[in-house]
Amino acid sequence: MQILNKYNQLTIDLFHGTSTLFLDSIVSNGLGGVNPVSEWNILGLCKEVCEFSDQHLKETKLYQRSFGSLKRMAEQTAAETFNFQHGDTYVSPSQQTAVRYAINKRFGSEILTYTIDFLQELIKKEIPYVTQELYRKYLKIYGLIESNPSPLLVKIKDVPISALVSEGGQDPTENLNELNEAFINFDDRYELFVQQHNFRLIKPVPKANLELYLINIQKYSQLDPKYNFYKIETLDFK
C-alpha cells in the first residue's frame, strides 16, 4: 500500500477545516486534543435553541431553509449522505473539502455555526428565557456571537492509521484501500475522487505534525471559492 510507510503512517497529508476560534487550543493541545462541543456544551445549547426555534421561528427564511439540519444536529443523527454527529475531529485527504468547510462554517464548527445563527434570530424576538436564563447558562457561546474568526486550514502529516476510523466511526481499511487505489491510478483526478473519503480522529495529533494556514478568501462561493493561504508559524505562540 503506497499511502502507508513502514511505520503504518500515511504518506499523504490529511486536512482539517476550522476557524481561528480554535487556533490557540490546537497549538496548545494538538488537533483533536480538546473537544469544544463537549467542553462548551454546544450540544446542550443546540437542543434548547432547536426547541425554541420550532416554537418561535417557523415563519422565518432561516427556519424554512435550515431547521431540518439543526434538528438533526440536536438529535445527533447519522444519515446516509450527511453526518450530523459532532464532537469528534474530522479530517479529509482532500484539501478542497477542508477549505470549503472552513469557508462555509463561519465559526469553524457546523453545530456551533447553526446554533448561533438560530440563536441570533431568537434574541431578536426578545424572548426573556433566551436573553436572560439561557445567556447565563452559556456565557462563553453568547460571547462569540459578535466575533469574526478567520477560516483556518490544518495540514496533518504522518498520521498513524491507529489514530483514524472512518467518518461513520468504523474500521478505516476500506477507505484506505480506496485511497491507495486513487493514489496509484487517478493522477490529476485524485483530488476529485477523494473528496468524500473522510475520517474521524480518535487520537490527538501533536503540533509537531501540523501546519497551520490562514485562508484568505478572494472570492466567496459556496461551491467554488477563490482563496490563497498564509502559513502561521506556531513557534511564535507562547
Per-residue model confidence as pLDDT tens for the chain (238 residues):
588 898 999 999 999 999 999 999 999 999 999 988 888 999 999 999 999 999 999 999 999 999 999 999 999 865 544 444 555 799 999 999 999 999 999 999 999 999 999 999 999 999 999 999 999 999 999 999 999 999 999 999 999 999 999 988 899 998 888 888 887 776 667 677 777 789 999 999 999 999 999 999 998 887 788 999 999 986 554 4
pTM of the model: 0.88
Quote the CA–CA distance of 228 and 153 in Å, as a whole number. Answer: 11
Strand partners, 160: 9
Q: What is the pLDDT of residue 80?
A: 47
Quote the CA–CA distance of 58 and 234 in Å, as a whole number. Answer: 45
Q: What is the pLDDT of residue 67?
A: 97
Sort residue 66 into left (φ over 0), alpha (ψ -120 to 50) or beta: alpha
Who contacts 200 (Cβ-Cβ below 8 Å, separation ≥6)? 88, 89, 90, 91, 164, 165, 166, 167, 169
Nearest to 231 by CA among 152, 124, 145: 152
Sheet arrangement for strand 89-91: 89-91, 199-201, 164-166
In the three-class reduction of DSSP (H, G, I as helix; E, B as strand; rest coil), residue 233 is classed as coil
Who contacts 73 (Cβ-Cβ below 8 Å, separation ≥6)? 46, 50, 84, 86, 110, 111, 114, 115
* Residue 91 neighbours by CB distance under 10 Å: 26
Quote the CA–CA distance of 151 and 101 in Å, as a whole number. Answer: 9
- Angle between helix 61-75 and 42-56 (nearest 10): 140
Question: What DSSP character marks residue 149?
Answer: P
Who contacts 4 (Cβ-Cβ below 8 Å, separation ≥6)? 10, 11, 161, 176, 180
